[in-house]
Structure formats: C-alpha cells, structure tokens
Amino acid sequence: MIAPRTTSVLDFRHPVLWVGLVLTLAGAVRLAPAFWNALISEPALGLLAFALWSAYSIVAGLLIYRFEMFERRSLRTTTVAYVSGAVLVAGIAMVAAPAMHGILASLRGGTSPWDSAIAAPVVEEPLKMLVVAALAFIPGARVRSASDGLFFGVFVGLGFQVTENFLYSTQWSAQGAEASVVLETFVLRGFVTGLWSHATYTAITGAAVGYFFGSVSGPGRRWSVLVGSLGASMLLHGFFNSPLIQLGTVPTAIVKSVPVLILALATLRWVHMRERRALHLDARDLVPDEHVSTVDFASLENRRERRSNRRDMAERYGPVAALAFARFQRAQLDVLITAHDDGVGSVRYNQAIQELQHARKAVEAAESDAIGASASASATATPSRAQDQSADAER
C-alpha cells in the first residue's frame, strides 16, 4: 500500500489529479451553456429547479454522510467525488451519450425504444466507476476498502444524478411548463425513480473498485468482482430505462426498483460484514486491549449497541456524560481505523490514541461531576428532612 505524500486528495504532484482537473474543466465548459440557457429561458422556473435540486443534494449528502457505519471520511474527498460526478461525468456524458445514440441508430437504420436502455448504461456507468478508480489511485483520498469505494461511489452517482435531473427539470420549464410541472419532475426523479438511480448503481460499482484496490485476494477474483459489478449496474440501469413493464410511471418505477434494491442491500451487507470483520481482527491482533479490546468492539460494532450504551450513560450520569461518551466511542473507532489503514505507530494512529486519551478523561470528569452533584444534592436534602421532623415534633 502506497503511503500518501499528503493526507488530502488534492495531491498536486499526482498526475491523476491533474487529468481529473482537466476533464472537470472540460465538463464545466460543456455544461455551462446548458445551465445558462436553463436559467435565462425561464428565470423563475430555472431558479426554482436549481433551488430544489441544490436542497436535495445537501439533504441527501448529509444523510449519507451520517449513515456511515464506522468511519468519518474526509469531507474534502467527498466533495471531490460529488463534483466529479456532477461536472466531469455529466459534462462528458452530454457528448458521449448522444454519440452512442447515433451509433445505435446507424447500426439499426433508425431509432428504437431500447436506445436509452443501451446508450445510457454503456456510457454513464463506466465513467462513474472510473472516477472512483481515479480516487483510489490517489493515496491521499484513502480509498482502501469496499466500504470506502461504496461511500465515494454514492457521492459520484449523486452528483451526476442531481445535474442530470436539474437539466431535465429545466428542459420542461424552457418549453413553457408551469411550476407544478417542475415540482412533479422533482418528486418523480428525486423520490420515485431517484432512490434507485445513479447513486445506487455507482455504490455497487464503487464497492467493487474499493475491493479491487484493497483486497488481498488474487487478481482473478478481484477482476471478476470488478467486471461483474460493472456488468450488474449496467444491466440494472438498462432494465430501468427499458420499455419493459409498462404499468404507469409510479407502479413501473416501483416494480423495476425491486432488483436494484435487492442488489444494493446485498452489496451494503457484504461491505459492512467485511468492515466489521476487519475491525474485529484489528481489535484482537493490532490494538492493545487498554485502548480497544474485542469486548470494547462488541459494544461498537453496530449503531443500536452504541446508541443503547449512550442512553445508559445519560440515565446514569446525565447528558453531558453521554456526549463525552459518544466522543469516546468515536475515538475508539478512529484508533481501529487508523491502525488498519496506516498501521500501529503511524502518525495518524498516534494522533488517534491522543484523542482517545482525552476522550476517556472527559468521560471520567463528566462521571465525577455527576456523582459530585448527586452527592451534594443528597447532602442538601438531608438537613431539610431533619428540620421538617423537628418542626413536626414541636407541633
């Protein structure tokens, strides 16, 4: 594993970053006229669409970022992944997808309802997967596991999805549609079909990219997983775009979402199991028990257990102690993650140990303060009861 020259994805000595910057600039140049026309043709509707899809991306991004099971990944790398999907992939796809449609039309001698089921997946899915692979080539991005690849793949797909949906929304507004049509497009493409769209497809291929770069399995197995996941995402994308199953917009989207949901959940479970097993081994074999033991990890390995422990802490010592304990849990996980990624004794590992020690002291101080406050309250209440008893005797 290559040691990063910088802890940031913005490693300007790495050629992959420069290729990405050039392609992002090219994508921006291609997208700029479309965005400009969308905003000036019907300014009110264009701004409405822009506001809706911007809010959608922010809310969805925050939810995905908070949904991480163990690791808090770099916000800078996350932003690069999102912008790459929104600008680089979307800009190139604006040229490549029509070209692919033209190739299919020339081969058939005419257009077909199946063109979008073939052209879009063939162009878009490899492009999005290549963005995740490019991040994996930059050591500072730290794409070192299937979990990393899945996470950044979601943001690449989300960025592309938001740009595409904004352009679809403004396409209708430019044709004189009312605000209600823009809102209907937002609901349809954001929530009805959007939940089973590009973010999901790229999560699947991104997990395979992370596995390819981070697994110790043989090349045959790693290539099989990579190619197989790309093929699966292309088939799912093509199936969703195909003229198969015509039951109306919403019922069709629901039916077609079933295989996407099944594969997405299976991928997510596989990724979480791999991540949980790796951290368990790190707690057992790498990190000293005084920092994180296997017993400690048993209380950290799922969100339900972590929440339950924080509730217990709040009931026993109050909310301040619960917040301190949440910081302590986060610090323990960071110790395991840095031990796994960089090794015991690395700079990041030592920093994580220092944070763990500070967090432990904060928990102990919060517990001590809560016990002291409780004892003080009891001492204050005791004389009051004695005085009440004396007053009763006098009466």
Q: Is 119 part of a structural domain of the chain?
A: yes
Same domain, 363 and 225: no
Same domain, 50 and 195: yes
Same domain, 363 and 303: yes
List CB contacts of 196: < 8 A, sequence separation 6 or more: 240, 253, 256, 257, 260, 261, 264
Parent domain of 57:
15-261
Instruction: For 79-102, give one letter per residue: b (16+ CB within 10 A) or e.
Output: ebbbbbbbbbbbbbbbebbeebbe
| Boundary residue ending a domain (216, 246, 261) | 261
Mean pLDDT by 10 residues, the chain (395 residues): 62 93 96 88 86 94 85 91 97 93 87 90 96 94 92 96 91 69 88 87 97 93 97 95 87 90 93 92 92 91 89 92 94 92 88 95 92 79 52 50
Per DSSP, 2 falls in state P
Same domain, 133 and 193: yes
Q: Is 231 part of a structural domain of the chain?
A: yes
Q: Is 205 part of a structural domain of the chain?
A: yes
Same domain, 300 and 164: no
Same domain, 214 and 353: no
Same domain, 186 and 43: yes
pTM assigned to the model: 0.88
Length of the chain: 395
Same domain, 238 and 159: yes
Q: Is 388 part of a structural domain of the chain?
A: no
Same domain, 86 and 220: yes
Q: Is 7 part of a structural domain of the chain?
A: no
Same domain, 347 and 202: no
Q: What is the pLDDT of residue 3?
A: 45
Count how many domains the chain has.
2
Q: How far apart are the first and last CA of the chain?
A: 84
Contact present, 136 and 210 (Cβ < 8 Å): yes
Let me know if 105 is exposed, middle or buried by CB neighbors in 10 A (0-12, 13-18, 19+): middle
Q: Is 381 part of a structural domain of the chain?
A: no
Same domain, 315 and 238: no
The rounded distance, in Å, linking the Cα atoms of 351 and 368 is 26
Same domain, 251 and 310: no
